[in-house]
Structure 1
Amino acid sequence: MGQSRLGAIALIVPDYDDAIRFFTAAGFRLSADIDQGTKRWVTVEPPGGGCRIVLARAATPEQQATIGAQGAGRVWLFLETDDFAATAARLITAGAVFEEAPRHEPYGTVAIWRDPFGNRWDLIQPA
């Protein structure tokens, strides 16, 4: 049987270019931006690789209502780093807002932050 892996997740955003600006300023690599007529196929990848994020522009009022609410108010995205302070500084410069000071948990150093679209993330430096 073949192996499977999670290749990408979709993140609903209000505007492709605003999302590209935030993620590339935060250190992500723009891996695709393909015009498909009425929409674009836009993906970004974290600097260390891993699952890509498909930046999906909201096209209907129902989709617009989900911007920042895909996780139902919970942290639902987890960005791992090997340098918490440097990554946090880069995120803040890009426009992220941290909800708390870093705390130490058995699994590592962690803090909750929000991207400019309202999504809640954990920044984690594993123990």
Structure 2
Amino acid sequence: MRRVALVTLVVDDYDEAIRFYTEALGFRLVEDTPRPDGSRWVVVEPGTGAEDAAGHGTGLVLGRAKDEAQRARVGDQTGGRVGFFLHTDDFARDHERMRAAGVTFLEEPRHEPYGSVVVFEDLYGNRWDLLQPAPDA
């Protein structure tokens, strides 16, 4: 079996990123391990039920920017495009919970042939789709 296990997301601060992803988006903190250089290995996962045999799905490594070049990419890792896609099995539930948690939505929810979708921004301005695929999609 092959799968994308982790994707790095460059952030300004570990703790504020952990709070946003766990509290506002409902992800679970999988690992937060200090490293000898003062950085941390931080992994969060949405906990979607699509985990592998070891209990892991695709996760985000929250990597604190180390220099000016990396700080310049915080919030713009995909050039303003939607770069991350959070699938859900209950669009209304997750949209309402995220809205109540203060997540910034850039549009009203849409119901497309492929499913229900809305674009939102994470803590730093990266664009995401919250998407419940249509049953036949």
Give deviations 1:7-51, integer Å, cap 9, x for gaps.
010000000000000111021000000000321000001021431
Q: What does residue 33 of structure 1 align with? A: 32
In the alignment of these two chains, the number of paired residues is: 125
Cα distance change on mapping 1:51 and 1:13 into 2, 3 Å: same
Amino acid at match of 2:29: L
Following superposition, the deviation at residue 83 of structure 1 comes to 1.0
RMSD, matched Cα: 1.1
Q: What does residue 78 of structure 1 align with? A: 85
Following superposition, the deviation at residue 85 of structure 1 comes to 1.6
Tell me the distance in 2 between the aligned counterparts of 1:12 and 1:57: 6
TM-score under structure 2 length normalisation: 0.87
Q: What does residue 66 of structure 2 align with? A: 59
Q: Stretches of 4+ moved more than 3 A in 1?
A: none
Following superposition, the deviation at residue 92 of structure 1 comes to 2.5
- Between the aligned residues of both structures, percent identity stands at 51
Tell me the distance in 2 between the aligned counterparts of 1:81 and 1:39: 32
Q: What does residue 5 of structure 2 align with? A: 7
Tell me the distance in 2 between the aligned counterparts of 1:92 and 1:14: 23
TM-score under structure 1 length normalisation: 0.93
Give deviations 1:60-111, integer Å, cap 9, x for gaps.
0110000011011000100000111211122233332000011111110001
Following superposition, the deviation at residue 4 of structure 1 comes to 1.6
Give the unaligned 5+ runs of structure 1: none
Larger deviation, residues 77-86 vs 87-96: 87-96
